[in-house]
Chain A
Amino acid sequence: MTSDSPTDFFTRFGASLLVWLKSWRAVSRFTAVAIVEALSPSTYNSATRSVVLKQIYFTAWQILPRFTLFSALLSYVLIQIVVDTARNFGLADYALEGVIRLLVLEVLPLMTALFVALRSGAATGTEVVLMNIHNEIRAMEESGIDPLRFELIPRVIGGVISVLALTAVTSALALLFAYFVVYGLQYWNLPDFARVMAHIFDLPALAILWAKVLAFGLAVTVIPITEALAAPQKLFFAPIAVLRGMVRLFFVLMLIEVLSLALKYI
């Protein structure tokens, strides 16, 4: 193995590239399957529904109060900073727009996705790894339950819905804060606010925002799950599979964010 002839190098390089490509293919295939399954009504039976419900409960409902509180605090501080800075530079007219763009379009979706990834993505990945290693997946198949439909797809659906829900709640709060910080505690600037909103959320921006949040939601569950399924059925591979899943998830989240920015501003 020590011989480092160019042929060996290229062989190794090619092999690792192939593994890499294969893993991405697995991710994209699983994503496609998940989307198709999520949209087909036959996926939803009594059993899968219960898994979806539990997934949403653990991913979104359980953290809702604390996460909302935290994101409200963060939004408030960021809004104050942006509005004050804009006023100092005589750009008060642009403060509202800037703050909404910053929070609703970028920071809050990404933060929600990261939070859900840290909490539920890691948990899902670990659980699927253990399921796989303990052969529970095959056990389910044996008793006539499609593990993909019963355990995995519902988690993806639950993850997507959770990310959507958390983003919606925190963004709504941020919009409220933005309005009250910029205009004060009154409602007669609503037309002005509406104009700014109309300016920010034109059709492309809305489409990009929706696509981005959906992509975040998919990534947060799909990537840990595929990485977990790809791991060999040996217990010592469990940490490695979770680690790989999380690292890849982080890069994918950032990639989605950068892509959305590029689409919007380039």
Chain B
Amino acid sequence: MERAPVRAPLIKNLEFKVGLLLALTLALAVAFIAYTLYSRGVFERTQRLVLVADNAEGVSIGMPISFSGFPVGQVERMSLTDEGKVRIEMSIPVKDAKWLRNSSVFTLEKSLVGSAKIRAITTNLKDTILADNAERPLYTGDAAQEIPELIIKVRDVVTNLQNLTDKQSSLNQSMANLQTVTGRMAGQYGVMGGILGAEENSRKVVDAIDRANTLLASLNGVSLKVDSVLTKTDQRLYGQGGVMDETQKAVVQINSILTDARESLKKADAILKNTQGITSDIKGATTDLGTLRAQVDDSLTRVNGMINELNRKWPFSHDAEVKLP
């Protein structure tokens, strides 16, 4: 049999090229499917977390749950229980489970644009890790939405208070200043007595300042208490006993104490005003007293501001009256 001459084929390496293209396509398709499966967490060990909500509006399958803005899991299944609540089953990759503790709080937040968000808030990362198949409530609605923010704000306020009543704080210093000045006036030189014209008035000043000091000291105590309440909040927000109530009580207490502090400082201020008026002709003492007064004023504004802020932040407080001296 004769052999057909080997002729340069019309298309060089046709089989090879087409094979290459097919292999590439197949590889891409397989890689794509594998990747989508991977991204859906098929190859990842997950644990389950069940969130029970009153209303699951805006929640959809595949929706992520975020911790500090990072997704740590997603909604796997949703069902309605016999009590009319929504059971949202979430799958949490085991590697991310460490961010969810027993004390973690889960909230559902809705924004104007975009979908709703499920957030996990863990304030105490030393708590025990949330068990597999754990069931937790999912808080929705306005009040619950603000809770995490509120806790942070209240904490800020408390820190402020602590700073204010600290030994180094300007309020304390000004009080100390006031005491030394008045002491100097009353004692060695008797300027105070002379200026005020009466023992009684100088006593008043000292008394008022003393009162302010004690009040601020007790305020410190209260703020510590608020702190402890907040730690408890970490453990069980909304638990029986109602954290809301306790926090509210604490805040109301802070409020009244601050109001007290303000009143007494006002008194001191008034007295000092008088003093200044009387001693306007005595040069040296007046400048001293002027600075003192400015400092007291400053402290007073700060306390006022705090009361203001507290009233604004706390939705349960009804009397939001704020009066500047």
* Consensus secondary structure, chain B interface: helix
CB-based contact A168/B36 at 8 Å: no
Question: A164 — nearest CB in chain B belongs to which residue?
Answer: B25
| A172 located at the interface, meaning its Cβ lies under 8 Å from any Cβ of chain B in the complex | yes
Number of interface residues of B (CB under 8 A): 25
A202 to B28, CA, bound (A): 18
A197 to B22, CA, bound (A): 24
Chain A residues, Cβ within 8 Å of B74: 195, 198
Q: What chain B residues lie within 8 Å of A94 (beta carbons)? A: 114
A-B contacts counted at CB < 8 A amount to 68
The answer to whether B17 and A57 touch across the interface, beta carbons within 8 angstroms, is yes
Cβ of B21 and Cβ of A64 under 8 Å apart? yes
List of A residues within 8 angstroms of B22 by Cβ: 56, 161, 165
**Residues of chain A at interface, number, CB under 8 A:** 29
Across the interface, do B39 and A194 meet the contact criterion of CB distance under 8 Å?
yes
Q: Which B residues, 255 to 289, have Cβ-Cβ distances below 8 Å to chain A?
A: none
* Contact residue among A93, A169, A193 (Cβ-Cβ distance under 8 Å from B24): A169
* Contact among A161, A194, A198 with B25 in the assembled complex (CB-CB below 8 Å): A161
Q: Report chain B residues within 8 Å CB of A165.
A: 21-22, 24-25
* Closest chain A CB from B42 CB (angstroms): 10
> B36: shortest Cβ distance to chain A, in Å?
4
Residue pair B17, A61 in contact (C-beta under 8 Å): yes
Q: Is residue A53 within 8 Å, beta carbon to beta carbon, of the partner chain?
A: yes
Find out whether the CB atom of A60 lies under 8 angstroms from the CB atom of B39.
no
Residues of A within 8 A of B35 (CB): 194, 197
| A91-B113, A172-B32 given; A54·B11 CB < 8 A | yes
On chain A, the residues within 8 Å of B41 by CB distance are 198
Judged by a CB distance under 8 angstroms, whether B249 is at the interface is no
- With A94-B114, A168-B32, A197-B39 known to touch, is A202 a contact of B62 (CB < 8 Å)? yes
Give the CA-CA distance A215 to B36 in the complex, in Å. 22
Q: Is B83 an interface residue (CB 8 A)?
A: no
**Is there a chain B Cβ closer than 8 Å to A199's Cβ?**
yes
A191 CA / B32 CA spacing, docked (Å): 15
- CB of B143 within 8 A of chain A? no
Decide: A53 and B14 in contact? CB cutoff 8 A. Answer: yes
Residue contact A198 to B40, C-beta cutoff 8 Å: yes
| B14 contact from A54, A64, A202, A206, Cβ within 8 A | A54
Complex interface bits, B1-28 against A, C-beta within 8 A gives 1, otherwise 0: 0000000000100110110011011001
Asked if A57 and B71 make an inter-chain contact with CB atoms under 8 angstroms apart, the answer reads: no
Q: Using Cβ atoms and an 8 Å threshold, which residues of chain B touch A61?
A: 17-18, 21
Min distance, Cβ B38 to any Cβ of chain A, angstroms: 7
CB proximity of B283 to chain A, nearest CB, Å: 60
- Roughly how many angstroms separate A198 CA and B41 CA in the complex, as a whole number? 8
Assess A168 versus B14: contact at CB under 8 Å? Given A91-B114, A198-B62, A201-B36. no
For residue B28, which residue of chain A has the nearest CB?
A168
Closest partner residue, chain A, to B61 (CB atom):
A202
Q: Does B322 contact A (CB under 8 A)?
A: no
Chain A residue numbers with a CB within 8 Å of B71 are 191-192, 195
Does B29 reach chain A (CB closer than 8 Å)? yes
CB distance from A193 to the nearest CB of B (A): 8
B25:A57 contact, CB within 8 angstroms: no
In the docked arrangement, what's the CA distance between A194 and B36, Å?
8
A82-121 CB mask vs B (1 if < 8 Å, else 0) is: 0000000011011000000000000000000000000000
Q: Pick the contact of A172 from B11, B28, B33 — CB < 8 Å?
A: B28
Chain A: CB-nearest residue to B113: A91
Contact (Cβ within 8 A) B18 A53: yes
**Nearest A residue (CB) for B62:** A199
In the complex formed, the residue of B with least CB distance to A90 is B113
List A residues 139-182 near B (Cβ within 8 Å): 161, 164-165, 168-169, 171-172
The digit string for A180-208, where 1 denotes a CB below 8 A from any CB of B, is 00000000000111110111011000100
Is A195 a contact of B18 with CB atoms below 8 Å? no
CB distance from B218 to the nearest CB of A (A): 47
- Give the nearest-CB partner of B40 in chain A: A198
Q: List 6 A-B contacts (CB under 8 A).
A: A57-B18, A61-B21, A64-B21, A165-B21, A165-B24, A201-B36
Question: A-B pairs with the 7 shortest C-beta distances?
Answer: A194-B39, A198-B39, A165-B25, A168-B28, A201-B36, A198-B40, A197-B39
Residue numbers of A with Cβ under 8 A of B are 53-54, 56-57, 60-61, 64, 90-91, 93-94, 161, 164-165, 168-169, 171-172, 191-195, 197-199, 201-202, 206
Given contacts A54-B14, A169-B25, A194-B38, 9 further A-B pairs with CB under 8 A are A61-B18, A64-B21, A90-B113, A93-B114, A169-B28, A195-B64, A198-B41, A198-B62, A206-B36
